[in-house]
Amino acid sequence: MSMVMERPTGSARELVSSAPWNDVKQACITLQSVQSHDGSVSGAKAQSTARTAVASLIASVTTLAPHFPHDKDYLEAVVEDCTAWQESSFGVPDFYRSLSAFHPDRTRVDGTAHLVVFPMFTQNGSTNRFFEAVLCETIWPDFVAALEADAYSNAMFVPVRFLDYTPGYDTNSAVLFPESVAVLPRVPAGAPAGTAPELPAFTWGGIFADREAARFRAVVRDAVDITKLELPADARELLEDQNLAEKTFVMWDLIHDRTHMRGDLPFDPFMIKQRMPFYLYGLEELRCDLTAFREAVSLARSKKTDPITRKHASLVLYAVVFDRIFRFPLTGNRVRNYDSVAGQLLFAWLHQSRVLHWTDTQLTIDWDALPDVVVKLSDAINALYWQSIDRPKIVHWLAAHELIAGVLAPHPASKFASGDIPLEGTPGDITDHVHNDEFPLSMFYEALAKKLGPTIAATAGITGHARVA
């Protein structure tokens, strides 16, 4: 298939208030009201409702399709899969054909819009395989395109901006991943006889940088006021400018995302289907963030870096640190919250390295010393990974716990801290002994949560622009 670089005919933003798009949304909402957890629809009355909604969905997608010539094959497949789902009496939906045809990775041109319709679940949102629809546009600034084409190749990375969406995305979810789409394994067309059924190849991953940037700005602005943190002028500009923040997050995400597949890794980089202590997921996410941080340090300090890239590289440093130490520790509940542990770890590392101070109820940071101290934490995590290539799984788990416990105090009831775990048990047995709140919030964070918590909660569903009601 040839690469198409056309932009949509007409303005995709104008489509947000159009009748066909609103019909797509309403059809999905109607389907959600009758779908079971697995996406199927049972019962004559519910199926009658679904039949009417699918007819409306097909008609509306067909009407909107000319605005998205680069997605022609995909939108035709959506119609085919909707028809097939209806003809199957609304069993578990199978959008294998649509997913195989959708390739936003092939049209990474700034402003390129996409109409996305799938039965799917949304990370940090719903686990139901319900129909969802999103209008979005690609964010692909020139400096990011240059970075991706050179030292930071990441062909699967697709940063996007919300234009509008159905209720599954009126949540904290900021990703669009093919793994979440309802598909049934099948033998690919043209495959040799005897080939086992398989899922389609995943070639892209979408990240809504506008939501990341918007909630970052909202939370950090309040955190800065609460803690009386004095910011450098460029950090203040980052908090005031949504467009600047979006581009900064795209740069951060580009490097973070590719890092999952690079480095001295003792295991599957995405840790898919592996049962292990939750704090290890936090270390993996932090490893990727700190890799982005250290790469941004190198770009900001290099005389070869062009001014635009250098500016955004410097801003990535603020974005990583502020998002990690303010938003992540206090987002979500305390049940095996791995992102919270990672944020707490970075804060405590900075505090114990004496580049972050909480004195007289005011937060101060030594901005000049900050980069090298953060890189040292990155070094410590990278060393853990490298050493664990030669370690058994359980030994790696214990070593990771030791690294974190050297900075964060474990829960007093921690069996990992006391050593009261069945070292000869299965990995599942050992994982079961991890305390739900293995590394509790410090007194600083408990106090901050009372003031910052409402702001964090209010960012669910936030975007970088006002949506049409």
Q: Taking all residues of the chain, what is their mean pLDDT, rounded to a whole number? A: 93
pLDDT at residue 469, rounded to an integer: 38
Q: What is the mean pLDDT of residues 306-333?
A: 97
Residue 467 within any structural domain of the chain: no
Residue 465 within any structural domain of the chain: no
Residues 310 and 417 in one domain: yes
Residue 321 within any structural domain of the chain: yes
Residues 23 and 54 in one domain: yes
Residue 368 within any structural domain of the chain: yes
pLDDT band at 5 (very low <50, low <70, confident <90, very high): very low
Last residue of a domain, one of 175, 203, 231: 203
Residue 210 within any structural domain of the chain: no
pLDDT band at 465 (very low <50, low <70, confident <90, very high): confident
Residues 222 and 170 in one domain: no
Residues 193 and 251 in one domain: no
Residues 314 and 238 in one domain: yes
Model confidence over 240-290: pLDDT tens digits? 999 999 999 999 999 999 998 889 988 765 555 578 899 999 999 999 999
Q: What is the mean pLDDT of residues 334-346?
A: 96
Higher pLDDT, 222 or 188: 222
Last residue of a domain, one of 203, 233, 255: 203
pLDDT at residue 4, rounded to an integer: 32
pLDDT at residue 466, rounded to an integer: 54
Residue 28 within any structural domain of the chain: yes
Last residue of a domain, one of 145, 173, 203: 203
Residues 189 and 245 in one domain: no
Q: What is the mean pLDDT of residues 125-148?
A: 95
Residues 176 and 236 in one domain: no
Residues 111 and 225 in one domain: no
pLDDT at residue 270, rounded to an integer: 57
pLDDT band at 227 (very low <50, low <70, confident <90, very high): very high
- Domain range enclosing 111: 12-203
Residue 234 within any structural domain of the chain: yes
pLDDT at residue 459, rounded to an integer: 96
Q: Is the pLDDT of residue 442 over 70?
A: yes
Nearest Cα to 320, choosing from 249, 368, 426? 249
**Structural domains of the chain, count:** 2
Residues 184 and 232 in one domain: no
Residue 105 within any structural domain of the chain: yes
Residues 295 and 323 in one domain: yes
Higher pLDDT, 425 or 99: 99
Q: What is the mean pLDDT of residues 413-439?
A: 92
Q: What is the mean pLDDT of residues 196-214?
A: 95
Q: What percent of the chain has pLDDT over 90?
A: 86
Least confident of 20-29, 188-197, 279-288: 188-197
Nearest Cα to 33, choosing from 18, 46, 21, 19? 46
Least confident of 127-131, 350-354, 442-446: 127-131
Residues 266 and 358 in one domain: yes
Residues 22 and 64 in one domain: yes
Instruction: Give the pTM.
Output: 0.93
